[in-house]
Amino acid sequence: MNSLPSSTPRWDIFCAVVDNFGDIGVCWRLARQLAVEHGVAVRLWIDDFDSACRLLPTARPGTEVQRVDQVEIRHWTTPLPDVQPGDVVIAAFACDLPVQFLEAMARCTPRPVWINLEYLSAEDWVAGCHRLPSPHPRLPLRQYFFFPGLDRTTGGLLREADYADRRARFVAADFWRALDLPPPAPDELRVSLFCYENPALGELLDLWRQGSAPVTCLVPEGRVLPGVARAFGLSDLRSGDRLVRDALRVQVLPFVAQPCYDELLWACHLNFVRGEDSFVRAQWAEHPFVWHIYPQQDEAHLEKLEAFLARYRVGLDPLAARQLTDFWQAWNRGQGVAQAWPAFREALPALARHGKAWSASLMEAGDLARNLVQFCKDEI
């Protein structure tokens, strides 16, 4: 690999892939933005290389060290190769760094800035924990908690510098033409469906099938696909498959790379998203969306869902706010979707207007990559 100037900041990002593509989706987006926009030499360590390679179509499976889009990608193996830690070390989503790497960090002069990049949450306690230091119990190191978030008291959300320009150049007609679909009919609803397994899925698809207005549902390959197949009485579905049942048309898309996923969100009237990365992208897309939050034991995730809804509802018409809340809760509980859908469908125009104002409010927090860079500069 080409050598870099000694003045180039060097960052290590460690990513343990625990939720298919959610964690690596955030880490890859951050790594690429740091390299492209901030001139950082990023070394991204990934433990599940097979999953990562689906998200990085130009990556070469089985290659321990490679460079993709200005990012050095390394297979996180045990034991870890003997390397010099970077100026900044990020443990994404509280993953445990290898002991030998921590010991190498402790021997550095000056010691690296160690960041624990946390999950996105709208809960009130996040602001008080953002940027707090925590000493290592044995080594002369301290890590800083860095929280993505929705306002200036947190680290903000990832958003590339060219996002607005890409959005302005996007032509929906070209997108539909590439999928061999006509433009939406005046009364048609175009939906993207990216979610976890959900017992309410069959009920929702049946509602759309029996509806008076046409619905086209675009389903990228992922965990929800077997559930869609079962709803249609099929054993499986694959990329390129198309199904038409009464008012419902379903089209299965190949696994969608990150830049193309933004286009899918821009093109559709309603987007079902999950986890964190697609959740953030849906907020930037400014269209109505439904968040399927990652399920946790004892329904702790429902508290996090309500914390976000409490913020997102601000400025919404009270009726639309209730319709939004009812459907999101039904979808995340996996029951009551049939009762909640008609009212939620009526709220979509109000939610579309609200999406623009919400996106503008998020901009006030700045973007996560830039905020991280500034924080680490201050600490160094």
Q: From the options 3.40.600.10, 3.40.1350.10, 3.40.50.2000, 3.40.50.80, give the CATH code of 163-363.
A: 3.40.50.2000
Residue 143 above 50 pLDDT? yes
pLDDT at 50: 74
Q: What percentage of the chain carries pLDDT values higher than 90?
A: 83
Residue 228 above 80 pLDDT? yes
Q: Would residue 276 show up in a list of annotated catalytic residues for this protein? A: yes
Q: What angle do CA 309, 302, 266 make, to 5 degrees?
A: 50
Calculate mean pLDDT across residues 199-219: 97
Q: Would residue 23 show up in a list of annotated catalytic residues for this protein? A: yes
Taking all residues of the chain, what is their mean pLDDT, rounded to a whole number?
Answer: 93
* Tens-place pLDDT, residues 302-333: 999 999 999 999 999 999 999 999 999 999 99
Cα 98 to chain center, whole Å?
26
Residues whose CB falls within 8 Å of the CB of residue 348, separated by 6 or more in sequence, listed in order: 189, 269, 270, 288
pLDDT at 326: 98
> Which residue, chain included where needed, has tokens 């990012």?
71
* Tens-place pLDDT, residues 358-376: 999 999 999 999 999 999 9
Give the active site residue among 12, 87, 160, 276: 276
Give the active site residue among 12, 19, 23, 87: 23
Residue-wise DSSP of 28-80: HHHHHHHHHHH--EEEEEES-HHHHHHHSTT--TT-SEEEETTEEEEE--SSP
Interatomic CA distance for residues 185 and 269, integer angstroms: 12
* Tens-place pLDDT, residues 106-127: 999 999 999 999 999 999 999 9
pLDDT at 256: 83
Residue 4 above 70 pLDDT? no
The DSSP H or E segment spanning 208 is helix 201-210
Interatomic CA distance for residues 237 and 224, integer angstroms: 10
φ, ψ for residue 10, nearest 5 deg: -115, 125
Residues whose CB falls within 8 Å of the CB of residue 110, separated by 6 or more in sequence, listed in order: 380
> Which residue, chain included where needed, has tokens 């509980």?
333
* Tens-place pLDDT, residues 41-52: 999 999 887 777
Interatomic CA distance for residues 16 and 71, integer angstroms: 17
pLDDT category, 23, cuts 50, 70, 90? confident
Structural domain spans, the chain: 10-157+365-379, 163-363
Q: Are 241 and 219 in contact (CB under 8 A)?
A: no
Pairing of strands 270-274, 65-68: unpaired
